[in-house]
Structures are given as structure tokens and as C-alpha cells.
Structure 1
């Protein structure tokens, strides 16, 4: 157990509170309560390195919301698998999807054992949504999970969301091949929504990459061409792979992006 002030922090079985997790650090950055001292320490160090990191996390949430709304309303995709979903916050994937279509189905996937029980508490018995504990790198375990088999019809178009995840995988782990395995398993009309931190000369990119590597042991920034390769064989939805604020913005962009808004790029593509 770890100590926070004078109180011990209780952790459920299978969770090491001394070891920060991406999901819980994300929760700490958003001001949530489902995190430990180790996670809050990482969050503080990230904010010291890039003070706008909290804005960046909310920008990521907004991007996911616009993507999910597009997928359900415009692309007509009613099934979504959200890989590396993290701890529930606000405007979660199932909430956005089911606001657009109450029959939309969503399965959350995360390798942090804390995510599943908290997600299910928020789902409250929602018959069209579920959460599972699995590693996104194990395609067979994810797609073969009973909850996925129950909710996701393999014959119907499905959307794979892998947003805020791919930068956790090194090139040695072959993330491009991983994405291709998911898309190869899905029928035509399925969609991929993916993102990655952008490698550049932006000082904030350098600072964040160094701090992620120092605190989490991961954080692989990629150039624009490498991010676009995640969509090989698919048809990109306009405007292609762009900075998050530039993808289907709710309002007209007021002017040039701030340096922190240039740290992430992503896009959506359809399987022909």
C-alpha cells in the first residue's frame, strides 16, 4: 500500500498503487478521484514540463466526442470498440454515441483493472454498453471476449477507437501491424479513429516526450507520415490527419493554433 498524507490508499486486487498507470494519471490530470499518490506525482511532473497538459487532455476528450458523433450520425456506424478507454469522465463514448442513437453499442477496453468496475458503475446496467479488462495489443483476446461477442455483430460495420493509445507502443511492438489486424478483422464500412503525439521541433513536444519517458517509461512521438500510415488501405475522412482542433471543429478556428494544440494529430478513415 502507498501512503497519501496519513491515510493508506486502498487498491483493488491486481492493482499496484506504487506503479502509476496511464488511465489513473489521465484521471488525476482531469481532477478525478480514482488515482493514487504515484499517479498524482506523475501528473504534477507532466504539468511542470508542459503547463497546458490539462488543456491537452480536455482537447483529446473533445476530439473523441466529435469523432463519435460523426461516426454515429454521419457515417452510420452503430458499433464502437474503444481501446485504451481509460477511467470514465464526462461525455464518455457511450454517452455521445447513444445520444446520437440510443441503440448504438459500445465496448470499453483497458488493461487497468480499475477501469472496468468504475465504467460498469457509470453504465448502470446499460444493455448496449460494457467494459472489459484486456490489453489492446492482444487482438484475439479483445475481439473474442464474451462482452464483445455479445454486443458487436462481426457482420456489421464497427468503429475502432484507438485515441491516446498508440504513442504508448514502441516501433518494436509494431503498432501499425496491430491496427491493421483490427481492421482486417472487420467488415467493409468499418471505421478507424486513431491518433498519436506528433514528433516535431516544437519545444513543448520535446519537453512532454522526455517527461513521459522519464515518468511512465513510454511516450513515442511520430512524424506525420508515420501517423498517416496507421490508415494505410483505408479511405481517410476529410480533412485527413490533422491537429485535433482542426478536425470537424464545432466552431470556426479563430486563428493559428497554440503550440500545445500542435502536439497531437489524428484522423478517421473508412474501410472500403
Structure 2
């Protein structure tokens, strides 16, 4: 399903709606799923009414909110292409991979180097079912069921240890994940990322995207979206400032253009259209370990 690398097709989230009656037994249609809500924002069909309720609620406050998902996905694609083409990285740990859509991580990097290995991590039942079906014929990919906010346990997973060579550099991807962390106040998102970073081999890369409070005239839009996300049945979606997001990289060497709105990170061409408020409220960056 080829699409331009800089933009993904987005249609109305309520078109091609999936009926709750058709949901498999392992899907809980009474509670929204982060992966399915994201799918709904991208105009996918692997979501249910409870997920679409979240989308409609946030759209009432900020109609262009779906651009958060679009910008995040386009940033993932460009980041993977950069890592595959420019760094020599051939191993990827994609945390919170979500439901398969156009241009997944393994498709981008294996187009550059077919021997690239990708381990996806998620614990959403729908993601596990769809992902394993997609990957079953690709020997260089794997999908493991772990909580991405428990890095110590995840990093000891047998498949994570065996599929990736931990004596060689690895690219760690946390795309649109950390703003959904709702864990104990005694362990911050910075602490979680430190656990991952400390485990990475020398010369590895870390890529993060996250909801952003730009602390300018668009801050009000960011906080409107945050209020809707946090008070929805999903209950997560925190917007953070640039200094707060910079802490997630724990002092690593940032790759130019550093931490910027996702659409500004190595765009594929001139940006002729001015960004809307939502597009200014998600940031991304890539950094290298020493």
C-alpha cells in the first residue's frame, strides 16, 4: 500500500466504521485502547465506537487534532529512513508499535537493508493479533507482548534478547508513547528512558516523539487537547514543554535539527503550507549514545 513518505492518507475517522458486534472475543469494546484511538485518528478501520468517542470529543475542542497522529506517523517514517540510510543501524526496538498501517518500521528499514531486524513491542490484544499475522512470513521481524513502561522486564524478554544482538548498536523508538504513561509518581518518564538508555550498546540511537506544549500562542490549544484526552475514557495524553522533553534524552548527543515539531524534523522538501496549531503541538528528536 504505497503512500508518500511525508504524508499519510487521512479520512474521516467515522468512515468505514467497525461494528462492535464484529469484535473478536479478546477485544474489550467497553474501554478505549490507545492503539485503536490512534488508528481512528489516522482514518483506519481497526477501532470501535468507544475509541471513536475519544476522537470526536477531542475534535470538538480542536478540529485539526488528527494532525497529531499524521505528523507522528510521518516523523516515524522519516526517522526510520534516516537511521537506515545514514547511520548503518540494522537493529530496531520499536516500543508501543500500535496497529499495522502504511509504511511500518520494518517496511521502511528493510527497503534500505533487507537484513535489518525489527522487534516490535506492544501489549494491546488487537495489536498482537494483527501484528503477528502481518509479520509471520518475515523472518527478520518479531512482535513481543510486554509493557513498554517496564523496561527492565521488557529488556529481559527472551525474544528481545535473542532477536537483537546487544553487542551492536540498536535504534530504540518511542514514538507517541511516553505521553500516555500513567504510572507511579515515584518513577518518571525520564527514569523509564534512563533504564532503556543505560541498556543500549555504544553507538545506538534513541528516537522519541511526544505531545508538546510549545509555550507560545498555541499553548492554549495544547492544553485544550490535553484536558480532553485526560478526561476521556482513555485517560492519558500529557503535553510537555521542550525542556521537559529534552530531559527524556538524558544528555545524549542530539542529531540536527534536534528537538523540534515533528514536521520540522528533516522534511522531504520545502514546507509551503503553514502549520496549524495541532501540528505545532507534537515534537520529535533523535539522539546518539556515546
TM-score by length of 2: 0.87
List alignment gaps of at least 5 residues for structure 2: 1-16
Find the partner of 2:229 among 207, 212, 215.
Answer: 212
**Distance apart, 1:257 and its partner CA:** 3.0
**Distance apart, 1:120 and its partner CA:** 1.6
- Correspondence list, 1:23-34, <5 A: 23-34=35-46
Compared with structure 1, are the counterparts of its residues 185 and 6 closer, same or farther at alpha carbon in structure 2 (3 Å cutoff)? closer
> Could you tell me how far apart the structure 2 residues matched to 1:205 and 1:223 are?
10
**Distance apart, 1:187 and its partner CA:** 0.8
- Correspondence list, 1:45-84, <5 A: 45-84=57-96
> Could you tell me how far apart the structure 2 residues matched to 1:271 and 1:5 are?
43
Please list the CA deviations of residues 129-150 of structure 1 after superposition, one character each: whole Å capped at 9, or x if unmatched.
Answer: 1112211011133222222123
Instruction: Find the counterpart in structure 1 of residue 54 from structure 2.
Output: 42
> Could you tell me how far apart the structure 1 residues matched to 2:30 and 2:262 are?
33
After superposition, the CA RMSD in angstroms is 1.9
Other structure's SS at 1:73 match? helix
Find the partner of 2:180 among 156, 168, 178.
Answer: 168
> Could you tell me how far apart the structure 2 residues matched to 1:151 and 1:5 are?
34
Compared with structure 1, are the counterparts of its residues 192 and 252 closer, same or farther at alpha carbon in structure 2 (3 Å cutoff)? same
Find the partner of 1:182 among 196, 200, 212.
Answer: 196
**Distance apart, 1:197 and its partner CA:** 1.1
Preserved contact between residue 87 and residue 119 of structure 1 (Cα < 8 Å): yes
More deviation, 102-111/139-148: 139-148
Other structure's SS at 2:21 match? strand
Q: Which has the higher contact order (CA 8 A, sep 6+)?
A: 2
Preserved contact between residue 72 and residue 209 of structure 2 (Cα < 8 Å): no
TM-score by length of 1: 0.93
Compared with structure 1, are the counterparts of its residues 29 and 6 closer, same or farther at alpha carbon in structure 2 (3 Å cutoff)? closer
Instruction: Find the counterpart in structure 2 of residue 237 from structure 1.
Output: 255
Other structure's SS at 2:119 match? strand
List alignment gaps of at least 5 residues for structure 1: none
Compared with structure 1, are the counterparts of its residues 7 and 64 closer, same or farther at alpha carbon in structure 2 (3 Å cutoff)? closer
Other structure's SS at 1:8 match? helix
Preserved contact between residue 115 and residue 133 of structure 1 (Cα < 8 Å): no
Provide the aligned length of Structure 1 versus Structure 2. Answer: 268
Other structure's SS at 1:162 match? strand
> Could you tell me how far apart the structure 2 residues matched to 1:226 and 1:176 are?
9
Instruction: Find the counterpart in structure 1 of residue 282 from structure 2.
Output: 264
Please list the CA deviations of residues 133-188 of structure 1 after superposition, one character each: whole Å capped at 9, or x if unmatched.
Answer: 21101113322222212311111100110010111125824110110111101111
